[in-house]
A and B are shown apart, each in its own frame.
Chain A
Amino acid sequence: MNQQPTSNPHSPTPFLQIDRLRKKFGDFVALDDVSLDVFEGEFVCFLGPSGCGKTTFLRAIAGLDIQTAGTVHQAGKDISALPPSERDFGIVFQSYALFPNLTVAKNIAFGLENQKLSKPDIVKRVTELLELVNLPDQGAKYPAQLSGGEQQRVALSRALATSPGLLLLDEPLSALDAKVRTYLRHEMKALQRRLGVTTIMVTHDQEEALTMADRIVVMNHGVIEQVGTPTEIYRQPNTLFVADFIGEMNQITGKAISSDRVEVAGRTVLTKPHKAAVDATVTVTIRPEDIIPHGEDARSPGVTDTLEQAENEFDGTVEDMEFLGSFWRVSLKSASVKERTFSEVTLTVDMSINAIRRMNIAIGQSITVELPAQRILVFPQGNSNA
């Protein structure tokens, strides 16, 4: 998961400039002064829970539901008030919106007609597009005769037929079953790289966003919480919402003591440097896979399995174990008899199958884990946006 935004050369002016976009439906503010730059050739994902405004954002960019205020520039041109027909984009919807009474070929050719293209040229282009999405020889079929994945690819090629400058994807994979979805993720990403078309995809599936996007825009309640590469979003969430929404996260309420220490359930823990004021109530977080399990001998000298920060060790009893295929998710409850424990805290720890086997871990057993300080993120409480 080491995608860097290398595919775009970050030309000085962004391809798409969105400035303080605001959309109101009556009194409800669906988009609250949202600004974003998208660069040429970039694959950007809008990610967020349902109702966060991501689809509204996409539809405003498309001109399908024009914003109340704010501007959109595409390739230097102000398109803020233009109807969709005067903009330059192709779009794929969750439902694909394939015309049921037209064959696959006619669906794809729909946008090519009235474009000063000769009939043979249209046929050629359609054949080309069908090959591009790996559906040669399917042109004569009707959409209902294709599988969901095939329909999705037809919709994609119809959107790409007129070679638009911008490709918009509104949850294009969510109607498909898991296996097809994983396969199409790679297909679509590869296609997008090959064509170099600037793409914005709306999704509520974090895995989809993490694997496909060059940059992810995490949205909540009509505002952008964070924009960044998948690794940035996962490793360095700016806000508790982002931390919580993407991946699993242990969350414990604590109190800031200094810029790199917090007090949690009666213990002081070293954390990554944070900005919370001293004595402020904070949420202390760590991802389950960042917690390192240690054997009983962890603190004996000469053993490779060493503790790095004695302050951040923690004893607990295995309360529950959930097998998730490639790893185990273990619930660890503070064992109150020992001094190295938190009072009344349950931690979720992801442990490799090897570790479970090696350490012979079973329900009821006590183990020691370490919470690496660099992985402990502290967020001030009381403001969901901070």
Chain B
Amino acid sequence: MMTSAAQATVQAINTAAPLIRPKTSRDDKIMIGYMLVVGLYLIIALALPLYAMLSKSVSTFYFDLNNFEFQVNNGDGWSAPATAFALNEKLKREKLKREKLQAVQPEQLTTSSDGRLAATVFFPDFSFRGSTRYRIRQINPASSFLVGSRQIVDTEWHEFESNEFRRIYLRASRSTGLDNYRVYFSTPALFLSMKNSLLISLISTLITVSLAFGFAYALARSTMRFKGLFRIIAMAPILVPSLLPGIALVYLFGNQGMLKELLLGESIYGPIGIVIGSVFFTFPHAMIIITTALAISDARLYEAAISLRASRWKTFWTVTIPGARYGLFSAAFVVFNLVITDFGLPKVIGGQYNMLAVDIYKQVIGQQNFEMGAVVSVILLIPALLAFSIDRVVQKKQVAQLSARSVPFEPKPHKQFDAICLIYCVLVTVFIAGLIGVCQYAALIKFWPYDLSLSLNNYNFDVMDGGGWVSWYNSIRLALYTAVAGTIIVFCGAYMVEKTNRFVATRSAFQFLAMMPMAIPGMVLGLAYIFFFNNPANPLNGIYATMGILVVCTVTHFYTVSHLTAVTALKQMDREFESVASSLKQPFYKLLSKVTVPVCLPAVLDISIYLFVNAMTTVSAVIFLYSPDTTLASVAVLNMDDAGDIAPAAAMGMMIFYSNLCARLLHLFVTRKVMRKTQAWRTREGGSD
């Protein structure tokens, strides 16, 4: 007999329903597998390199003299072991007596990862012809020393003849700390470039956003003619590298410039040049965003304003500006980010005016100081990350503004206003087309300003520095690989994030990784790649200095915008497609190939052209990563300009422009054709209601 209490317990157990662990379907397994693959890609191509860079920036290297011990044998047996520190101290004391002696000074002990110190400095009487024998060992294996190029890391005694001992170099020990940052902030020149970068970015942002707003406003609110043409010309800067306007400005306002007098003695090499060039290359980005923001404004608000007899001026400030404010914010952040992280333009036109992105280049390429390069990179990350996160917050707010019932605004003719708009747009497009035109002119002139006859000599890249026509060919290859591989990776990644119902934590981690590249300046990414992939201990070391790493870097650099495009397209698809397919027992990849991809084809094509164009024009992401076998057109522009071959640089820049223009036209053509073929369902002809 059970007691009633025991019965109650049994009942309680019986009434608790069993917990269910959902069985994972084959589809789920494939999808999670793929998500892990793309996630792994982002970890390898983004998170780990950034981590490597961060740890590099807090790494300091110094010669630990206490860690090396020496013994000397002058033929009369081995002396007692003495540390390098002890020997150095002795040198310092003896220096007072013997003028010629040079001890190692404390400031010489701080070095970089590549630093080396000849062991012979501790032996003032050393002669490589002598018969003295030397022994050296490390006390603990935190550092190492070199015999020629052979690295010795053990703690054994090693014995050398004099002739061999002169090839002994001590290597530095690594320690972690903020010393590099301390050095950075106490170096006035470096600190100044931070101020310069912020100032230039703010000024450029202000000018670009105002100009772009006026332009977008004229396009949206006037009934002027040539709107399509204006829009196309305004988009042109996207197709050229950011340093191209710099070259044009040199021809216009440089030391031998056509319009030099207009600057009234000011030099174009410096802030003026950087700002003008920045406005040029960021203009289309700002214009696209603001145009979108103006397009979503609601005509009913304007009708209300008119019915309330508000003046045009008042309507502008109470309806137009508030309606477009999120777009304006967003455009401002994008422009700010582009300018502060751009490297090509200040390199070409900046002269002595230092900016953060150029500092990275100088530290790494010029001084081979990778640690300081990493420090500047981390510092450059801060404003970029800040701008990025503020923009995300603002973007989230904008969603609520869109309403399905909004009525699009239809502008009405207004003679005076339309004329002003027309003049304004003509001025802006003349500025844009003018700079490109100057580049084209420069590319075709034999020898500015002495021989103005036209020739194609400047296109004979094979006789110049920069890699020749191979560079252009490499760029095309890079752009194609990036477009194909990138589109597949990005679209599939977005599909997994958007269409998997489970694994919430994995998905949000993935989403976070996918958003990150937007905030990472190209140079920072490139430098991080050096630290990560050029490490011999890295099993992926093999892709260093190949086309592979350039593709990986470019795909990663432009991941976020592509991802967002894919996600937006996928979000417009019915969430229940996957449910329907699984209820019909059809695998997800059948749905993907028969429905999802065909419906999203326009977005897929948009992603691929975006990746193609950017791969052609990018300089910052690949400047540290190209090798003699993989020189690129955009880098060639920079290097030829650096070498003083400005006309060929302009010519190569124009080659990039032509290539991108062709790609764009091809994209347009293919999109039209594909739309007609696979998107027939979009037309509603013959609808029965």
Contacts and interface: CB of A to CB of B under 8 A. Distances in A.
A334 B15 CA distance: 51
B2 interface: no
B581 A110 contact: yes
A84 to B, nearest CB: 4
Given A66-B20, A69-B18, A85-B582, A101 B686 contact: no
Given A97-B579, A144-B684, A111 B23 contact: no
A162 B585 contact: yes
A80 B688 CA distance: 43
Interface stretch (A19-27, A223-231, A265-273, A293-301): A19-27
Interface stretch (A38-46, A87-95, A188-196, A357-365): A87-95
Contacts of B27: 83, 85
A222 interface: no
Interface string B153-186: 0000000000000000000000000000000000
Contacts of A102: 594-595, 681
Given A91-B579, A91-B580, A144-B687, A82 B23 contact: yes
A110 B584 contact: yes
A101 B583 contact: no
Interface in A154-168: 158-159, 161-162, 164
B18 A70 contact: yes
Contact of B22 (A71, A83, A144, A164): A83
A84 B587 CA distance: 11
A147 B689 contact: yes
Contact of B586 (A67, A68, A110, A164): A110
Contact of A111 (B584, B598, B599): B584
Best-buried of A33, A83, A164 by chain B (most CB within 10 Å): A83
Contact of A33 (B17, B26, B586, B688): B17
Given A101-B681, A113-B586, A95 B20 contact: no
Given A70-B20, A162-B585, A97 B580 contact: yes
A114 interface: yes
A327 interface: no
A126 to B, nearest CB: 13
A184 to B, nearest CB: 15
B682 interface: yes
A304 B23 CA distance: 69
B150 to A, nearest CB: 60
Nearest to A170: B576
A258 B688 CA distance: 63
A383 to B, nearest CB: 21
Contacts of A145: 684-688
B261 interface: no
A70 B22 CA distance: 12
B678 A101 contact: yes
A316 interface: no
Nearest to B573: A100
Best-buried of A90, A101, A111, A141 by chain B (most CB within 10 Å): A101
A83 B25 contact: yes
B20 A68 contact: yes
B107 interface: no
B688 A146 contact: yes
A372 interface: no
A62 interface: yes
A162 B584 contact: yes
Interface string A72-110: 000000001111111101110101010111100000001
A80 B27 CA distance: 18
A67 B581 CA distance: 21
A9 B501 CA distance: 38
B232 interface: no
B448 interface: no
B17 A84 contact: no
Interface in A48-69: 62-69
Given A70-B20, A83-B28, A99-B595, A89 B679 contact: no
A101 B678 CA distance: 7
Contacts of B683: 144
A84 B582 contact: yes
A244 interface: no
A101 B598 contact: yes
A81 B28 CA distance: 14
Contacts of A93: 574, 576, 579-580
Contacts of A237: none
A147 B678 CA distance: 22
A150 B688 contact: yes
A114 B685 contact: no
Given A95-B576, A101-B681, A21 B17 contact: yes
Contacts of A21: 17
B501 A80 contact: no
Interface string A101-137: 1100000001101110000000000000000000000
Nearest to B598: A101
Contacts of A241: none
Contact of B599 (A22, A71, A83, A101): A101
Interface string B27-50: 110000000000000000000000
Contact of A70 (B17, B21, B25): B17
B583 A91 contact: yes
A143 interface: yes
B353 interface: no
Contacts of A81: 20-23
B660 to A, nearest CB: 30
A20 B13 CA distance: 13
B583 A62 contact: yes
B19 interface: yes
B586 A84 contact: no
Contact of B20 (A33, A67, A91, A150): A67
B11 to A, nearest CB: 13
A159 B28 CA distance: 22
A86 B586 CA distance: 11
A101 B689 CA distance: 19
A142 interface: yes
Interface string B652-689: 00000000000000000000000000111111111111
Interface string B550-588: 000000000000000000000000101101111111110
Given A82-B23, A83-B24, A101 B595 contact: yes
B574 A95 contact: yes
A113 B590 CA distance: 10
Contacts of B586: 110-111, 113-114
Contacts of B20: 66-71, 80-81
A295 to B, nearest CB: 50
A83 B586 CA distance: 12
A84 B586 CA distance: 10
A62 B579 contact: yes
B579 A101 contact: no
A366 B18 CA distance: 62
A85 B585 contact: yes
A80 B22 CA distance: 8
B579 to A, nearest CB: 5
Nearest to B601: A101
A17 B643 CA distance: 81
Nearest to B583: A91
A70 B18 CA distance: 5
Contacts of B22: 63, 66, 81, 83
Contacts of A99: 577, 594-595
Contacts of A89: 583
Interface of A: 19-22, 33, 62-71, 80-87, 89-91, 93, 95, 97, 99-102, 110-111, 113-115, 141-148, 150, 158-159, 161-162, 164
Given A102-B681, A113-B586, 6 more contacts: A91-B579, A101-B598, A144-B681, A145-B685, A147-B689, A161-B584
| 7 shortest interchain CB distances as A-B pairs | A111-B584, A83-B25, A20-B17, A142-B681, A97-B576, A66-B22, A147-B689
9 contacts: A69-B17, A69-B19, A83-B23, A84-B583, A85-B585, A93-B579, A95-B574, A141-B686, A145-B687
